[in-house]
Amino acid sequence: MPATPLLDREPEPGTTMTSAPLVQVTPEEIRAHEHFCSLLDDRALLSGPNRRFHDLQLLYSVARDFLRGFRALHFVGPCITVFGSARFDEKHRYYQLARDMGAAIARMGFTVMTGGGPGIMEAANRGAKDAEGRSVGCNIRLPFEQHHNPWLDRWVTIDHFFVRKTLLMKYSYGFVIMPGGFGTMDEMFEALTLIQTRKVKSFPIVIMGADFWPEMRQFMKHMLAGATISPEDLDLIKWTDSVEEAVAHLQEKAVRQFGLRRERLPRSMAWLGEKTLEGAH
């Protein structure tokens, strides 16, 4: 005997099956929502179904973001990406740690890549220039202004967060995670997920700022105890506040593992407007 459709069943004792009343939306609220979404492509893309032609335009804006990023970053050389908060100024100890780390990465021969903004990002890019190394950024367009920092040899500004995250990982052979907020957490777990699921190779991840992370380390152990991750997943991470230890880990897990060589850099074509970053050859 076939099951009775859900909507034809009698309600359980003590419950009702009444539908929630529809909320009336005023024309002013509709116009305010449309204006809100019109200010950024990301908002329109994430706001649900649009008119078909508008969605096609948004798809083009994603492709344009990728093309802009590919052209800007294709010739910058092997990178190490540094993630971290935009909110620390140059007097903060995390800023100085990121600056020291940026200089050490540059001395290894890598290009230092960041999100291109202030705070930890600025510090790592500044450290690269302290060591006369290469420094690039992948900035994001936000409702409030976020200008690229002044320590970049090359940068690109992206409209879509997910495109930006892809670019920050596409050109990197390792990741350094400094203290940060929601965005830093998003970037850290994106990298861990891609490595865990073998979407990318086992690139090294260094997490710095020990006094910032104890609860996160404990929570990861909690995930391990709950069998939601495997023991080898925690082996993906090197926890340290030592620049020397971080460099040794990157040397072992990035340089030796992937056999990085300068001749891996693609050859640019001037007739296409392509330009190799100075020092990345």
Structural domains present in the chain: 77-137+172-261 (3.40.50.450)
Residue 92 scores a pLDDT above 70: yes
pLDDT for residue 45: 80
Burial 263-278 (b: 16+ CB within 10 A, else e): eebeeeeeeeeeebbe
pLDDT for residue 17: 52
Residue 263 scores a pLDDT above 50: no
The confidence band for 269, taking pLDDT boundaries of 50, 70 and 90, is: confident
Q: Which of 246, 266, 228, 233 is nearest to 77 (CA)?
A: 266
Instruction: Give the tens place of pLDDT for each residue, 105-160.
Output: 999 999 999 999 999 999 999 999 999 999 999 999 887 756 889 999 999 999 99
The confidence band for 10, taking pLDDT boundaries of 50, 70 and 90, is: low
Residue scoring higher pLDDT (199 or 275): 199
Q: Considering only 35-49, 146-160, 203-217, which range has the smallest mean pLDDT?
A: 35-49
DSSP3 helix / strand / coil % (the chain, rounded to 5): 50, 10, 40
| Mean pLDDT value across the chain | 87
Residue scoring higher pLDDT (33 or 65): 65
Number of other CB atoms surrounding residue 170 within 10 Å = 17
Average pLDDT over every residue of 167-195: 95
pLDDT for residue 44: 77
Q: Which residue has the tokens 């590919």?
A: 70
Residue scoring higher pLDDT (139 or 272): 139
Residue 261 scores a pLDDT above 50: yes
pTM metric for this prediction: 0.83
Number of other CB atoms surrounding residue 180 within 10 Å = 24
Q: Which tokens sit at 121?
A: 């990002």
| Cβ contacts of 160 within 8 Å, gap of 6 or more | 41, 42, 45, 61, 62, 65
Backbone angles phi, psi at 159, to 5 degrees: -85, -35
Q: Is the dihedral of CA 174, 180, 183, 189 positive or negative?
A: positive
Average pLDDT over every residue of 206-228: 96
pLDDT for residue 54: 85
**Amino acid occupying residue 64:** R
* Cβ 132 vs Cβ 107: under 8 Å: no
pLDDT for residue 20: 63
Q: Which of 16-20, 53-57, 149-153, 264-268: highest mean pLDDT?
A: 149-153
CA dist., res. 194 & res. 202, Å (int): 9
